[in-house]
C-alpha cells in the first residue's frame, strides 16, 4: 500500500507529451531509480524505458515521453530494475494541460470588448476561455470566463489604458482531475480600441503634452509681463527724458518744399518776416537805441556788433503785447528767435541753431 501513496505530478501537455515527476530526494534518497511506461492494455503489455529523464542534482526525478493513448501505466524501479518501488495506472486524458490560445483577436464596440481565438482540434467542450484585464488604476486583475472560444465584457472606459491577457482552462471535475490551465497569452495593452506598446507609453505621452502646454503657457505669461514692463518703461522714459521735436515736422515746408534750403525758404516767407518787423519795430526800441548810442560807441567800438530779435509763439498769433524786442546795438550780425528756434543772420549767410 505504501507504493500507491507515493506522490507524483502528472501532466499531459495538450494530449501530446506526458511529464511525470516525483520527489526523488525525499522518496528515494541516495538511489537513482529507473522509470518505464506503457499505453497497452491487457496481459501483453510492452513496457518502454524512459526516453528523457529529468534530473535533480544528478538524480532521476522525472520522465518526459510521448502521449500514445488514453490509458497509461507507469512503473518506478530501483537502479537495476530488479525491484518495483512504485506503480500506477491512470487516464491520461484527465491530466491534460491545454496549449496557449492561438490567433487571439480583440473587437471593440463602444464600451464592450469581445475576445476570441481559434478553436482547438480536440476536446473543445472541455475548454473555457478566461479573460483577465486591469487598468493602471486597478491593483488586481478582473476575470471573465466563457465557453471556448469567445468571451466578452462591458464597462470599459475609453479614456483609460487597459492590460489584457487570456488563457484556456480545462473543466474540473468533468474533464480533468487536476485544475490545469494553459500558460497566459502575451499581455497586450489597449485604449479605446487602439493597440499600444504599453500603458506607460500612454502616460508618458500625456505627461509630454502637459509639459508642452505648461511651457507654452509660461512663455505667453513671460511675453505678457515683458510687454507690460516695456509700456511702463516707455512711459517713464517720456516722463524723465521727453523727446526732442524734430524740426522737419515743425517746418514741414522748409524740408519738403525747399529740401532744407533755408535761403530759398526765407525768401518765400517774406510776408512773415515783414509782418514780424512791422509788429515789433516800436519807438521804444529806437529811443532805447538812441539813449545808449553814445555809451555803446565809447565802450564797445572794437567788439563785434550783433542785433537780437525775440519772437514768441504769441507774436505769430498777432499779439503785440506778447512780443519783445531787445536792441542791443545796430549791427550787421543778427540773432533772431522764431517759433522756438534761433536764427543767426550774418550778411548773406543764415544759420539755424
**In the listed set 213, 243, 261, which residue is the last one of a domain according to the structure?**
261
Whether residue 167 sits in one domain with residue 110: yes
Q: Is 216 contained in some domain? A: yes
Instruction: Specify which of 84-88, 250-254, 324-328 reaches the highest per-range mean pLDDT.
Output: 84-88
Q: Is 310 contained in some domain? A: no
User: What is the Cα 46 distance to its own chain's centre?
Assistant: 70
Q: What is the pLDDT of residues 17-30, one digit of tens each?
A: 999 999 888 888 88
Whether residue 225 sits in one domain with residue 180: no
Whether residue 53 sits in one domain with residue 27: yes
Q: What is the pLDDT of residue 344?
A: 47
Mean pLDDT, range 321-335, rounded to an integer: 40
Whether residue 235 sits in one domain with residue 253: yes
Indicate the DSSP class of residue 179. -
Mean pLDDT, range 67-83, rounded to an integer: 90
Given a cut of 90, is residue 136 above it in pLDDT? no
Give the angle subtended at the CA of 310 by the CAs of 304 and 312, to the nearest 5°: 165
Whether residue 35 sits in one domain with residue 19: yes
**In the listed set 97, 120, 140, which residue is the last one of a domain according to the structure?**
97
Whether residue 180 sits in one domain with residue 120: yes
Give strand pairing partners of 131: 144, 166
Whether residue 214 sits in one domain with residue 165: no
Q: What is the DSSP string of 287-306?
A: HHHHHTHHHHHHH-SSSPPE
Given a cut of 80, is residue 71 above it in pLDDT? yes
Whether residue 72 sits in one domain with residue 23: yes
Q: What is the DSSP string of 95-111?
A: GEEPPPP-S-EEEEETT
Q: Is 213 contained in some domain? A: yes
CATH number at residue 164: 2.60.40.10
**In the listed set 230, 261, 292, which residue is the last one of a domain according to the structure?**
261
Q: What is the pLDDT of residue 215?
A: 81
Domain hosting residue 180, numbered range: 105-197
**C-alpha–C-alpha distance, residues 35 and 73, integer Å:** 11
Q: Is 285 contained in some domain? A: no
Q: What is the pLDDT of residue 285?
A: 45
**C-alpha–C-alpha distance, residues 226 and 232, integer Å:** 10
Residue with the three cell numbers 502646454: 213
**Average pLDDT of the chain, as a whole number:** 75
Whether residue 190 sits in one domain with residue 205: no
Report the SS3 class of residue 219: helix
pLDDT band at residue 35, thresholds of 50, 70 and 90? very high
Given a cut of 60, is residue 122 above it in pLDDT? yes
Whether residue 92 sits in one domain with residue 144: no
Q: What is the pLDDT of residue 37?
A: 96
Closest CA to 13 of 67, 90, 83, 88: 67
Q: What is the pLDDT of residue 50?
A: 95
Whether residue 257 sits in one domain with residue 173: no
Q: Is 302 contained in some domain? A: no
Q: What is the pLDDT of residues 191-205, one digit of tens each?
A: 888 888 888 765 555
Whether residue 117 sits in one domain with residue 73: no
Q: Which residues make Cβ contacts (< 8 Å) with residue 66, sequence separation at least 6?
A: 16, 17, 18
Number of structural domains the chain divides into: 3
Sign of the alpha-carbon torsion through 21, 26, 27, 33: positive
Amino acid at each position: 500500500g505504501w507504493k500507491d501513496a507515493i506522490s507524483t505530478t502528472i501532466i499531459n501537455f495538450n494530449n501530446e507529451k506526458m511529464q511525470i515527476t516525483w520527489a526523488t530526494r525525499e522518496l528515494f534518497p541516495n538511489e537513482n531509480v529507473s522509470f518505464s511506461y506503457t499505453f497497452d492494455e491487457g496481459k501483453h503489455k510492452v513496457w518502454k524505458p524512459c526516453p528523457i529523464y529529468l534530473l535533480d542534482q544528478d538524480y532521476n526525478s522525472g520522465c518526459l515521453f510521448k502521449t500514445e493513448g488514453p490509458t497509461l501505466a507507469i512503473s518506478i524501479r530501483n537502479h537495476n530494475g530488479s525491484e518495483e518501488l512504485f506503480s500506477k495506472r491512470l487516464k491520461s486524458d484527465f491530466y491534460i494541460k491545454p496549449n496557449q490560445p492561438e490567433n487571439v483577436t480583440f473587437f471593440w464596440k463602444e464600451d464592450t470588448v469581445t475576445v476570441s481565438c481559434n478553436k482547438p482540434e480536440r476536446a473543445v467542450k472541455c475548454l473555457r476561455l478566461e479573460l483577465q484585464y486591469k487598468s493602471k488604476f486597478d491593483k488586481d486583475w478582473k476575470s471573465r470566463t466563457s465557453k471556448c472560444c469567445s468571451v466578452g465584457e462591458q464597462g470599459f472606459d475609453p479614456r483609460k489604458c487597459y492590460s489584457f491577457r487570456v488563457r484556456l482552462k480545462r473543466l474540473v471535475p468533468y474533464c480533468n482531475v487536476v485544475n490545469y490551465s494553459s500558460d497566459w497569452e502575451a499581455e497586450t495593452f489597449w485604449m479605446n480600441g487602439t493597440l499600444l506598446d504599453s500603458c506607460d507609453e500612454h502616460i508618458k505621452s500625456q505627461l509630454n503634452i502637459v509639459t508642452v502646454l505648461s511651457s507654452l503657457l509660461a512663455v505667453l505669461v513671460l511675453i505678457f509681463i515683458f510687454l507690460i514692463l516695456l509700456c511702463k518703461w516707455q512711459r517713464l522714459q517720456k516722463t524723465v527724458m521727453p523727446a526732442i521735436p524734430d524740426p522737419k515736422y515743425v517746418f514741414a515746408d522748409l524740408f519738403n518744399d525747399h529740401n532744407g534750403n533755408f535761403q530759398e525758404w526765407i525768401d518765400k516767407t517774406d510776408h512773415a518776416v515783414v509782418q514780424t518787423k512791422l509788429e515789433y519795430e516800436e519807438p521804444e526800441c529806437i529811443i532805447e537805441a538812441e539813449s545808449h548810442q553814445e555809451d555803446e560807441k565809447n565802450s564797445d567800438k572794437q567788439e563785434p556788433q550783433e542785433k537780437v530779435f525775440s519772437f514768441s509763439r504769441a507774436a505769430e498769433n498777432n499779439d503785440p503785447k506778447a512780443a519783445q524786442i531787445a536792441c542791443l546795438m545796430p549791427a550787421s550780425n543778427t540773432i533772431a528767435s522764431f517759433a522756438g528756434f534761433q536764427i543767426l543772420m550774418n550778411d548773406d549767410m543764415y544759420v539755424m541753431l
